[in-house]
Amino acid sequence: MPETASPAGASASQEAEISAALGTRSVVLVGMMGAGKSTIGRRLSARLRLPFLDADIEIEAAAGMSIPDIFETHGEPHFRDGEARVIARLLDGGPAVIATGGGAFMREETRSRIGSRAVSIWLKADADVIMKRVKRRADRPLLQTADPAATVGRLIEEREPVYQRADITIWSRDVPHEKIVDECIDALHAWLCHNSTETSNTMGATQ
């Protein structure tokens, strides 16, 4: 790309380079409920011209029932087994941008599949941002507790050391979605096209 290229042109070529470097691998978004995985994932997929897949929606379609109903009728372990199977299938059909449910990356088998079939992005969000966002929907079985804020705090503590193993970390905060998407694109480009671990594992998290 010549030095004189417009920013839009430069960005389009960055996106094309990412797609080429991905091959059949997917981009997988991990992180807590309310971190913005579906919102950012949908926009990121449009920028990369890849299909967008939401693992929670795919699980509901495969089970023929909603996530709260799966939890209530069959229990969480059954949901987790179905979640692992669905994510394995989605990864086999790549490339795509895949948003996973907040607990999916906690399973070793799923993490290792993601490691070999995808580039993972942890959308990291603070507890207050998460609380503000999850309050908008009442369909998360794990948050049907007497003190959802305490539950979120406990889940963050348990899960962050594992989310941290994602290839890339992006700080999901209250800024326009396109800014977070731009940061994902920059970090993916650095990770895939320059193989620079230095930039990719902290990008967006330190600003």
Counting contacts by CB under 6 A, is residue 124 touching ligand S3P?
A: no
Counting contacts by CB under 6 A, is residue 142 touching ligand S3P?
A: yes
Name the residue whose CB lies closest to ligand S3P: 101
Binding mask 93-112 for ligand S3P (x = CB under 6 A): --------xxx---------
Angle at 55 between CA 171 and CA 108, to 5 degrees: 75
Number of shown-chain residues binding ligand S3P (CB under 6 A):
10
Counting contacts by CB under 6 A, is residue 140 touching ligand S3P?
A: yes
Question: In Å, how far from its chain's centre is CA 17?
Answer: 21
* Residue whose C-alpha is closest to residue 104's, from 173, 35, 40: 35
Q: Which is nearer to ligand S3P, 47 or 159 (CB)?
A: 159
Q: Which is nearer to ligand S3P, 102 or 204 (CB)?
A: 102
CB 113 within 8 A of CB 105: no
Q: Looking at 4-147, list the stretches that DSSP marks H as alpha helix, in order from N- to C-terminal side.
A: 7-22, 37-48, 55-63, 67-74, 76-92, 108-117, 127-134
Q: Which residues bind ligand S3P (CB under 6 A)?
A: 33, 37, 56, 67, 101-103, 140-142
